[in-house]
Amino acid sequence: MNSKARYLLPRIGLILFPIVLIFLVEGGLRLAGIGSGARNAFVEIEGKPAYMAFNPDFSARYFNGFVPSVAFNPFLKKKNPSVLRIVTLGGSSTAGFPYQFYYGFPESVSRGLSSQLPNRTVEVINLGMTAINSYTLWDLRHDITAIDPDLVVIYAGHNEYYGSFGAGSTLYSLGNQIALKRLVLRLKRTAIFTGLESLLSPDKKADGRNGGDSEGSDRTLMAQVVRDASIEFDDETFNDGLQQFSENMNDVVELFRKEGIPVLIGSLVSNLSGQAPLGDNPEALKAFDRGTDAACQTQECKLSAFESARDLDNIRFRAPSIFNNVLEDIALRHQTGFVDLQSVFSSQSRSGIPGSDLFIDHLHPTQHGYELMGAEFVQAILMQIDTSTNPSADLAEMVLDPLESAHSALLIERLLADYPFHKDRSAEEMSKLSDELVARYRFSGSFMDSLASVMVSSPLTVSGALVKAIQYEKRSTPNKDLLLLYQALFYWQPFNTPLMQEAVAAGIQSEELDPFTIRLAVFGANRSNDIYFWNALGALYLRADRFAEADAALSKAESLDPNSPVMLYNRARMYLAKGDTATSESYFLRYQASTTRDSN
């Protein structure tokens, strides 16, 4: 060994030793299972090895002491050619707040596409999460490409200042260095980092699914995430948020397009005419007053004034106009679809300017607003996948179940009672108000109100609450409320075939409930492909004289079991109603033969 080698080898060893040690420690911690439960974005569903879903524990990486609710949207691990897989990305408006995820626009997209593409299995995987922003989309981008989506829908931008890793947030602000924040997100995928984090941070994980915000707190999440309360237009923090949004979103869309995945970006909408500035910027307040002044008579004058009020509002829970400019530029640069939701909301608002008729607060749409978003995305998706089919104008909107009506009303009341809608309320005052609100619902005399109050003040899950609500409604004759509750429970228990059969059996007793029963049967048929649901759909469509749809459903039942007595009987009825007595007789004879065999 020459002198140069004797000089270099020890030094190389000194350099390599810590690197090797880090890899050994990382490997050992992984073998020990440290952080394994939250390392993978998508996990296999227990007891259903053919399906995967988003890992609810994975979302905890973006918060300290809060786990946002994530939609339960199972999808096939092995994607077959008939599957149309769509991923939706965004914050609480994509998650569907203040409603459960199945009342948000992603589920509206799923229903709309399923009705237009009956030969495709539509999978919409909703990754919307409360209080996340472009950093979460950036962090998830490779996980999303790995599940091979056919299209990605993005509706994001309102949380860039106060969401996790936001420019003015208490949640991982880290000095607003983009490179540093991205490094932390990379490190959070290692066992070493997650192990240290679990040791140094208190083990507090409040589930946001029922409307809880953080353990031991009556404050809403909006009241807890603000570090820099006042962010003036074009100041340093404002520009930091704008820059991170632009860079992260560009990287996200660039990767998807590089992987050949079509992208649809929705323009951001918010309450303009019904929401005064949340901050105290005098120019913002003056602009809002100008929009409400009788002297400002034209639509252009009012819209300009309200948009200025929002853009100058120094409490930045609503994305300013420039964010939509960024999104449009990214869409143009990467040749992706851009869905103009602003025009949709303007055209559907009573005054022609988005207001409180379409929003429950400053930016979260009403359920009807979510349905408008879903319908617009459906049209854009159908154009993207190169089909001439257009959505049905009369596609039925979802109807809130009675428990969700009560639960969402409680959440909205609590939200609007706290910061930033009431900026001077202390934690003690909010705690007292929250207790009074919950007590008012609990003792209102309404079973659903009382159950909703338990949901937000105890560990009772949505699924568990729905079971209790169904038991209550089953005491009377099957009605619309019962079927709506069953429908909601399906989303939490999508593989529970006996539950779905029980619901359809209850609904089919009354012809007045047919529109709701059909939706339940379609859900059961698509999820389980059980012949029971195809036969039920055949009978329901026959009762409505919808012969083409009855024929399609009964054909599916016949392919599953050519000797099904229910199918044969309904086939005979269908052909008789259509005037084809010969075919009707042949099916009736087969029906008689099948029932004779069964009796023997």
Tens of pLDDT, residues 191-246: 666 766 666 665 545 455 454 444 345 566 666 666 557 899 999 999 999 999 99
Q: Would you call 533 exposed, middle or buried from its count of C-beta atoms within 10 A (0-12, 13-18, 19+)?
A: buried
Of how many residues is the chain composed? 600
Peptide bond into 98 cis (omega under 30): yes
Q: pLDDT of 11-46, one tens digit each?
A: 555 555 555 555 555 456 456 555 656 788 999 999
For 347-378, give one letter per residue: b (16+ CB within 10 A) or e.
Answer: eebeeebbbbbbbbbbbbbbbebbbbbbbbbb
Q: What residues contact residue 528 under an 8 Å CB cut-off, 6+ apart?
A: 495, 497, 500
Using DSSP, state whether 292 is helix, strand or coil. Answer: helix
CA–CA separation, 461 and 456 (whole Å): 9
For residue 225, which of 142, 162, 146, 271 has the smallest C-alpha distance?
162
pLDDT at 225: 64
Q: For the domain with range 42-276+317-384, which CATH number is right: 3.40.50.1110, 3.40.50.2020, 3.40.50.620, 2.60.40.10? A: 3.40.50.1110
Q: pLDDT of 570-581, one tens digit each?
A: 999 999 999 999
pLDDT at 393: 44
Distances from the Cα of 62 to the Cα of 57, 319, 349, angstroms: 10, 20, 35
Question: May I ask the CATH class of domain 529-600?
Answer: mainly alpha
Angle at 211 between CA 206 and CA 214, to 5 degrees: 30
CA–CA separation, 246 and 61 (whole Å): 22
Q: Residue 173 CA to chain centroid, in angstroms?
A: 25
Q: What residues contact residue 193 under an 8 Å CB cut-off, 6+ apart?
A: 187
* The amino acid at 491: Y
pLDDT at 366: 97
Residues 145 and 85 sit within 8 Å (Cβ to Cβ): no
Tokens, residue 85: 């897989």
pLDDT at 153: 98
Q: What residues contact residue 404 under an 8 Å CB cut-off, 6+ apart?
A: 99, 100, 103, 488
Distances from the Cα of 575 to the Cα of 547, 563, 566, 586, 598, angstroms: 9, 17, 14, 10, 24
On the CB side of 88, CA atoms within 13 Å amount to 31
pLDDT values of the chain reduced to their tens digit, one per residue, 600 residues: 566 555 555 655 555 555 555 555 545 645 655 565 678 899 999 999 999 999 988 988 888 777 888 999 999 999 999 999 999 999 999 999 999 999 999 999 999 998 888 788 899 999 999 999 999 999 999 999 999 999 999 999 999 999 889 998 877 666 788 999 998 898 887 766 676 666 666 554 545 545 444 434 556 666 666 655 789 999 999 999 999 999 999 999 999 999 999 999 999 999 999 999 999 999 999 999 999 998 998 999 999 999 999 999 999 999 999 999 999 999 999 999 999 999 999 999 999 999 999 999 999 999 999 999 999 999 999 998 866 665 554 456 889 999 999 999 999 999 999 989 988 888 899 999 999 999 999 999 999 999 999 999 999 999 999 999 999 999 999 999 999 999 999 999 999 999 999 999 999 999 999 999 999 999 999 888 899 999 999 999 999 999 999 999 999 999 999 999 999 999 999 999 999 999 999 999 999 988 876 655
Residues 401 and 472 sit within 8 Å (Cβ to Cβ): no
CA–CA separation, 307 and 254 (whole Å): 30
pLDDT at 115: 84
pLDDT at 529: 87
pLDDT at 10: 63
DSSP 437-485: HHHHHHTSS-HHHHHHHHHHHSS--HHHHHHHHHHHHTTSS--HHHHHH
Whether the pTM exceeds 0.85: the reply is yes
Peptide bond into 420 cis (omega under 30): yes
pLDDT at 426: 87
Q: DSSP alpha helices (H): ranges in 313-401?
A: 321-334, 341-348, 367-384
pLDDT at 385: 83
For residue 211, which of 41, 403, 487, 472 has the smallest C-alpha distance?
403
Q: Helices 427-442 and 402-417 meet at what angle, rounded to 10? A: 160
End-to-end CA distance of the chain: 94
For residue 236, which of 176, 279, 183, 308 has the smallest C-alpha distance?
176
* Element containing residue 394 per DSSP (H, E): none
